[in-house]
């Protein structure tokens, strides 16, 4: 699933070549970042990206309706693309589980992308590790079923956004380690120095497997516009330094 996100991030930066869309859905991806780090905006951009590829619809799950449509990098909110994004708002963990368990009963074209925003809202305290694992596993299973339904070349990707703890809060790492079992690919959004009015983040994509890691700068202007530039030192990756800094925060 890293491919879709990579395309979203690359499409905003001049350096990024327009990559061919691949039918390969890739492993499920977990999008991690603090409050207000642009997770929803990136998910929405991924939804628009996929909706424009002549593929099936996009299923966007979130507990709360979006307050406003995030402004994409292309700012192209084509109605035809928007129409292919189906929003559903499960109000509770049980309702989310019910939706996933019954996903095969839905009629119509199988989604090409399954998105869940705000997983933390469903990982409530009374949810034990096994139930949390079941929720993660069901997300993967639902996307796998959509892939199967779509037939060859019509895989369904899966991206789930999870809000990480505030810095300084040494929340237990247990849920994250558990989730990483089911989401081999991860993208971290880390705040960087912000200018007046604008908000700057570093997006670090670890696609899982043998794929190399990639990084971008993501900047949100005061009006909400998102601009993306490729991390300049991507080619000469000094793995040890960056590796240790990201591990320290995970």
Partner 1 sequence: MAVAAGVPTLPAVVEELLSEMAAAVRDGAPISDEHLLSLKFVFGSSAVQALDLVDRKSITLISSPSGRRVYQVLGSSGKTYTCLASCHYCSCPAFAFSVLRKGDSLLCKHLLAVYLSQVLGTCQQLSVSDKQLTDLLMERTQDA
List residues binding partner 1 (CB under 8 A): 27-28, 94, 97-98, 100-105, 127-131, 133-134, 137-138, 140-141, 144-145, 147-149, 177-178, 181-182, 184, 209
Question: In whole angstroms, how close is the CB of 148 to partner 1 at the nearest point?
Answer: 5
Residue with Cβ nearer partner 1 (141 or 237)? 141
Would you say 43 or 135 has its CB closer to partner 1?
A: 135
Q: Of 99 and 200, which has the nearer Cβ to partner 1?
A: 99
Q: What is the 3-state secondary structure (H, E, C) of the chain?
A: CHHHHHHHHHHCCCCCCCCCCCCCCCCCEEEEECCCCCHHHHHHHHHHHHHCCCCCCEEEEECCCCCCCCCCCCCCCCHHHHHCEEEECCCCHHHHHHHHHCHHHCCCCCCCEEEEECHHHCCCCCCCHHHHHHHHHHHHHHHHHHHHHHCCCCCCEEEEEEECCCCCCCCCCHHHHHHHHHCCEEEEEEECCCCCCCEEEEEEEECCCCCCCEEEEEEECCCCCEEEEECHHHCCCCHHHHHHHHHHHC
Taking the least distance from each CB to partner 1, the nearer of 66 and 99 is: 99
Q: Which is nearer to partner 1, 85 or 132 (CB)?
A: 132
For partner 1, give the closer residue by CB, 133 or 200: 133
């Amino acid at each position: 699933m890293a491919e879709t996100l990579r395309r979203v991030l690359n499409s905003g930066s001049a350096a990024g070549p327009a990559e061919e869309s691949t039918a390969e859905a890739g492993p499920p991806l977990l999008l991690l970042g603090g409050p207000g780090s642009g997770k929803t905006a990136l998910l929405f951009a991924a939804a628009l990206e996929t909706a424009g590829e002549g593929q099936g619809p996009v299923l966007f799950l979130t507990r709360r309706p979006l307050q406003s449509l995030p402004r994409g990098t292309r700012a192209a909110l084509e109605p035809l693309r928007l129409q292919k994004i189906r929003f559903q708002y499960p109000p509770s963990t049980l309702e989310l589980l019910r939706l996933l368990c019954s996903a095969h009963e839905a009629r119509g074209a199988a989604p090409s992308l399954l998105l869940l925003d705000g997983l933390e809202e469903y990982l409530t305290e009374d949810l034990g590790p096994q139930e949390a694992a079941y929720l993660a596993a069901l997300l993967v299973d639902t996307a796998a079923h959509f892939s199967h339904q779509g037939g060859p070349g019509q895989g369904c990707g899966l991206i789930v956004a999870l809000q990480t703890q505030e810095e300084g809060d040494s929340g237990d790492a247990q849920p994250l380690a558990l989730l990483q079992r089911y989401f081999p690919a991860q993208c971290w959004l880390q705040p960087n120095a912000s200018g007046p009015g604008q908000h700057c983040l570093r997006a670090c994509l670890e696609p899982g497997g043998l794929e190399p890691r990639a990084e971008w700068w993501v900047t949100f202007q005061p009006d909400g516009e998102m601009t993306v530039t490729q991390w300049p030192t991507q080619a000469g990756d000094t793995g040890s330094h960056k590796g240790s800094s990201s591990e320290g925060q995970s």
